[in-house]
Structure 1
Amino acid sequence: MQNNSGVQKSLLLQCIMKQGILESKELIQRLQESIGQLRRFCEPEFIVLFGSYAYGQPHKGSDVDVLLVLSDDMDGMTKQEASATLSRHFGSGLEVHPCTLSQWREALLKRNWFVADITNRGIPLFSNRDWAKVLMEVESLMNQSENLYPQEWLQWAEDDWRTVTMVLDGGMVFVAAYHLQQAVEKWLKAFWLHHGWQLERIHDLDQLLDEAVLHEPGLKRFRAMCSRVKYFIAARYPGLPNPPTEEELREQWLSQAEELRAFVRNEINSGLQPNATKFSVSE
């Protein structure tokens, strides 16, 4: 086993001091102590710090995100205890994202840009292998991959879409509005991913549509829907300004959402490559 904890600690210190995010010594100490407690009873494959504390702009209350990759032969109880140990010893603010090595590899073989980005841009806190070899594996798996990631986004969008129609029939307008926003967001992201986009944390439907229109100008017909529905992300909380009504959803946005759904599903499921002849959305 290769232990580069000294080098990794130095890299982490330099990165955090450069960004001036928070007290670097405190963060490093808490992370390293937590990993030390974890390694008393199991050896992870690797642990990566990602998100705002690694390469973003954290704000007060931002979580410290870590990807915890565990061996495939580890039993279920040990896997649960591994995540719990990190969280317990670090204290509040740590968000652990666990997976097995096979799950990590499977995600890359599906061209999951989010997992690739975490591994490539994140800060390795611990690794059983030389980190350069881990990064080489990321590149190799992504090059082998079939672009199945958009399909996963379509599947998640379907759950939101079914929820819209189900809860709206029950009079739950705000719940329907929120899931409508979620469905539209996922359809647009699936379209983006189909065209080689690397996933980013963007929720603004207008911004997502701007990029989609570059590939398919006919999508601009959905501008009014996106400009209105984007505000429904706040419908999960009380106090939404200018709240939607059931009549508005049914008469203005559901039919347009169904059209967008049909277009994106047709393009992705047709198996056409992004530069091939595509189904066209009329003006």
Structure 2
Amino acid sequence: MLPSDPRLALALEWLDLAEGDLAGAERLAQSTPRPLRGLAAYHCQQAFEKALKGYLSFQDVPFRRTHELPELLAECEALDAEFARLATQAALLNPYSVRWRYPPTPGEPSEDQINAATAAAREAIAFVRARLPRSASP
């Protein structure tokens, strides 16, 4: 059942997409015969981005079309100073929007980099979910 608040419904849609990106990243990182870690890193960045956009949508704050996590995070921080806790993760993931998508690439990210990226994306999604009404929890 969809929430009656259209802002909440939109925020939840953003979070569903973020969770899909995170699930895709986890699968890509474990794919065989060769893990696709570059694509996994990109999807972690996308999950983080969509979580932030979900929060801004819930707050009815317009945002420009961007993949810049620090910019989106600053908009979230203006509404809730606790978002500053995600600054390190945003800085980690921000370059992943393009680093492994266009040549020349620096080689595939390491398993440790992907583990950090998935943890950062997971944290952002949970952080935003915790700021939505309890009735919106899955």
Q: Matched residues in 1 for 2:46 and 2:133: separation?
A: 20
When normalised by structure 1's length, the TM-score is 0.42
8 Å contact from structure 2 (residues 41, 117) kept in 1: no
After the TM superposition, which residues 104-183 of structure 1 pair with which residues of structure 2 at under 5 Å, given as runs?
Answer: 146-147=6-7, 148-170=9-31, 171-183=35-47
Which structure has the highest strand share of the two? 1
Q: Which has the larger radius of gyration?
A: 1
- Point out which structure has higher relative CO (alpha carbons under 8 A, 6+ apart): 2
Alignment of 1:47-58 (within 5 A): none
* 8 Å contact kept, 2:45–2:121: no
Aligned match for 2:110, one of 245, 248, 251: 245
* Cα-Cα RMSD: 2.4
List runs of 5+ in structure 1 lacking aligned partners.
1-109, 111-143, 273-283
CA contact under 8 A between 2:11 and 2:55: conserved in structure 1?
yes
Q: How far off is 1:194 after superposition?
A: 1.1
Q: Relative to structure 1, is the Cα distance of residues 256 and 178 closer, same or farther in structure 2, using a 3 angstrom cutoff? A: closer
How far apart are 1:266 and its partner, in Å?
A: 2.6
Instruction: Give the structure with the larger helix fraction.
Output: 2
Q: For residue 74 of structure 2, what is the aligned residue in structure 1?
A: 210
Q: Deviations over 1:207-242 (max 9, x none)?
A: 111111122222212212211211111122232358
- Percent identity of equivalent pairs: 28
Report the CA distance between 1:172 and its aligned residue: 0.9
User: d(CA) in 1 for partners of 2:28 and 2:133?
Assistant: 27
1:187 aligns with 2:51: yes
Query: Aligned partners of 2:129, 2:42: CA distance in 1, in Å?
Result: 21
